Amino acid sequence: MYIGEHTLNGTVSFNFQALDGSGNPVDPDNTPTYTVYKNNVAMVPAVTGSMTKIESQTGFYGDSIEITEANGFVNDSSYVIRVTATISGISTCKTYEFDIATPLTLITDNTRALVLTAVTSEAPSEIYDNVFDYELAAEASNFLTAFGCPIVYTPAGGSGRNIIAIIDRLEPGQLTNNSNAPMTTISVANNSTSGISAAEIDTGGDKVTLAIRRGETAMQRRITSIISQDAGMMTLEVR
């Protein structure tokens, strides 16, 4: 039985219910005991113990283990708790699997935002409201690297900078007079370093330099609206 992913310096609790051949609760012949294995090898030094009966319930036992470095536990490893007991003269066992993973470091500020820093990945050092937003931002660069191409973004009254964008060219779009005209959209990272931040954009004033048709000369186009955005990326209409 898998009992979840845990963090170092926490506690893992587990239980054991002895049953007879008909599936009814029964007291075992002896007190259930357990041994812990790390990556399918018995831990050294050994982590073992005897379980305690829970509230005088028939055949129902429980225990907990402090998963600390002092007890031999480490991050990024898998563990198995093997419980054994004898029931009506027959040896039986049950196993419990769990993992210890390196956690994200969560730092709160007085606005309840989170600064999330992954221990093993290069993550953007921005402020995010939750882990989902953090993951969107962290993956944006990979997505753009795979599917994007270079363009130039020029904020109103400012200098141009090179960014990566995914360009969807010549989609049909409706103008204010209800007529249709070709519309191009770009998807960029939603930050002011490698893309365009939603906080800085000036629709109608900011421009991008790109080729509307493949093979044509890149020309400066105006950003007319924000179509959608999340913590990782933003999709913009270009005319």
Per-domain residue ranges for the chain?
2-100, 144-238
Provide the pLDDT for residue 28: 96
Provide the pLDDT for residue 180: 59
Q: How many helices (H) and strands (E) does the chain have?
A: 1, 17
Specify the pTM. Answer: 0.46
Provide the pLDDT for residue 98: 93
Strand ranges in the chain using DSSP code E only, listed in sequence order: 2-6, 10-17, 33-38, 41-42, 48-50, 52-53, 60-67, 77-87, 90-100, 105-108, 114-117, 149-154, 161-174, 180-189, 207-210, 219-229, 233-238
Domain 2-100 has CATH 3.40.50.80: no
Provide the pLDDT for residue 174: 55
Low-confidence ranges of the chain (pLDDT < 70): 103-129, 170-182
Query: Cis ω on the peptide bond leading into residue 45 (within 30° of 0)?
Result: yes
Provide the pLDDT for residue 32: 97
Provide the pLDDT for residue 179: 55
Provide the pLDDT for residue 126: 56
Class of domain 144-238: mainly beta
